[in-house]
Structure 1
Amino acid sequence: MAHSSRLQGKVALVTGIGNGIGQCCALMFARQGARVLGCDLNTLAAQHTVEQALAEGLCIDSLHPCDLTDPHDAQRLVQWAVDLHEGFDILVNAAAFAAFAWIEEMDYHQHWRKTLAGELDLVFLLCKAAWPVLKARGGGSIINFASANAWMSLKGSPALAHCAGKGGVLAMTRQLAMEGGPRGIRANSISPGLIETAATRAHLATDPHFHKTALDHQLLPQRIGQPEDIAWAAIYLGSDESSWVTGTDLRVDAGATAC
């Protein structure tokens, strides 16, 4: 993979590095010169990413297991980053988990509350823990992940709780941008369309109708998105190239939300 220096000299704290978008962001940030600190709830997956980085001659430090729905673990992660590098310049809130069910089958605790904790609460908890560190460094970039589902519904997708969680991330990020502006803290979100990850691959393979529905809803219908499509947007938001960008949402979705 090509290496560059768009993030040279920056320290990036990336969550959910074990797979999918978080893993891709961690590796691509390191390739762009950032010193990457990561975490994941899944120890084996996180260690695999660390080893993949080493195989490329890169270094990713990881704290695992780390449960970001626990306020204590969120604070522990931030303190670990401070102890290693006196803080960080970029916070990438890629970690998330969700439960999918139609409203008639949706259980309050198993589906609704679990999803809001895994998509909204953990972003709030880590932003809150990271805020004093970013203030002390004179600012930084927070990158949150909303979703195309925060802007639209997709036929065939039982994503009620997911839509609510990611809609909350979208709104929360705008508020963080307002509160962080005077302190030099930028906060932006990325709304991915349907991305092929470990979490979506099986569903895409076993439900060809859903696969076709997703492609038909895109203005660029040739393929489902890949984690790299999202990581490039995150690199831009973490770099000095976006120093005048805050409170915005980048929809990286092959035009799905423009339909």
Structure 2
Amino acid sequence: MTTAFKPALPIQRGERLRGKTALVTGIGNGIGKGCAMLFAAQGARVVGCDIDAGAAQRTVNEARERGWTIDSLHPCDLTAPREAGRLVEFAVERHGGVDVLVNAAAFGAFAWIGEMDYETQWRKTLTGELDIVFLLCQAAWPALIARGGGSVINFASANASHALEGSPALAHCAGKGGVLAMTRQLAMEGAQHGIRVNTISPALVETEATRRHMQAQPELMARVLGKLMARRVGQPEDIAWCALFLASDESAWVTGAEFPVDGGATAW
């Protein structure tokens, strides 16, 4: 089990996002935290949020200890349109605009179709994985246009492309498949405004929640590793480095694309 969790390329200082304001959701843990920390290290003015106020504050404190600054609005429930708008207003008031939007926050329920409750599992997952992206994109769209364009980074999943035997991920697959399709449409709508929109599709990434889940289900963990050419679970930094490229001017000719950062899971 321990060999499945290996370190990625660590966060490094740089200037690749110098002068940009990046709005990053879900900074309390996992991919959101990884992106927020790397972006701050690379010179961005990072504005974050999380529904878990304690987790968000720990990220802010950790960044401060390392000499970086992350502003955060927490708690913030992005499933509420008013809260999504409040987050964008917070970023604009703090830094005058938004150049990058990273929709990392998400939550979902996992159950087989015969056992899935419509309201508390199916609909809650679609809200937490699909609506949450739509609401913040809609709220941030005018700010991105006012800036003359920018980069939006959404997160689908390897589950949007394949089914993993033994994983009851029906609602998750539907939500992330929707994100993938919505991103392509947003790229088309944003092109006239200079807004680029791309998707990163990770396989299993280690977070506090996924670590507990996989350690409790060694058979499922074995199936996951069997799908990964890299033979290790992803780390938040693995995803954050790809997000850094998409947030930077280096990716100026990249939009409407999907980046399967998944250890080779969907390549076979």
TM-score band, normalised by shorter chain? over 0.9
Q: With structure 1 as the length reference, what TM-score do the two structures score?
A: 0.98
Residue 255 of structure 2 aligns with an amino acid whose one-letter code is: T
For residue 49 of structure 1, what is the aligned residue in structure 2?
A: 59
Residue 147 of structure 1 aligns with an amino acid whose one-letter code is: S
Count of matched residue pairs: 258
Does structure 1 retain, via aligned residues, the 8 Å contact 2:129–2:176?
A: yes
What SS does the corresponding residue of 1:219 show, helix, strand or coil? coil
> Structure 1 residue aligned with 2:102, among 88, 92, 96?
92
**Aligned ranges for residues 138-217 of structure 1 at < 5 Å?**
138-217=148-227
Q: With structure 2 as the length reference, what TM-score do the two structures score?
A: 0.95
RMSD: 0.7
2:254, 2:12 → 1: CA distance? 26
Deviation, structure 1 residue 199: 2.0
Question: Structure 2 stretches of 5 or more lacking a match?
Answer: 1-10
Using CA pairs under 8 Å that are at least 6 residues apart, name the structure with larger relative contact order, 1 or 2.
2
1:35 equivalenced with 2:30 (yes/no): no
Deviation, structure 1 residue 59: 0.5
1:207, 1:29 → 2: CA distance? 34
1:81 equivalenced with 2:80 (yes/no): no
Deviation, structure 1 residue 218: 1.6
Q: Sequence identity, in percent?
A: 66
Does structure 1 retain, via aligned residues, the 8 Å contact 2:12–2:38?
A: no
**Aligned ranges for residues 124-135 of structure 1 at < 5 Å?**
124-135=134-145
1:245 equivalenced with 2:254 (yes/no): yes
Residue 47 of structure 1 aligns with an amino acid whose one-letter code is: Q
For residue 133 of structure 2, what is the aligned residue in structure 1?
A: 123
1:15 equivalenced with 2:30 (yes/no): no
For residue 244 of structure 2, what is the aligned residue in structure 1?
A: 235
Question: Structure 1 stretches of 5 or more lacking a match?
Answer: none
Deviation, structure 1 residue 160: 0.2
1:75, 1:22 → 2: CA distance? 19
1:47, 1:211 → 2: CA distance? 31
The structure 1 segments of at least 4 consecutive aligned residues displaced by more than 3 Å after TM superposition are none
Residue 96 of structure 2 aligns with an amino acid whose one-letter code is: E
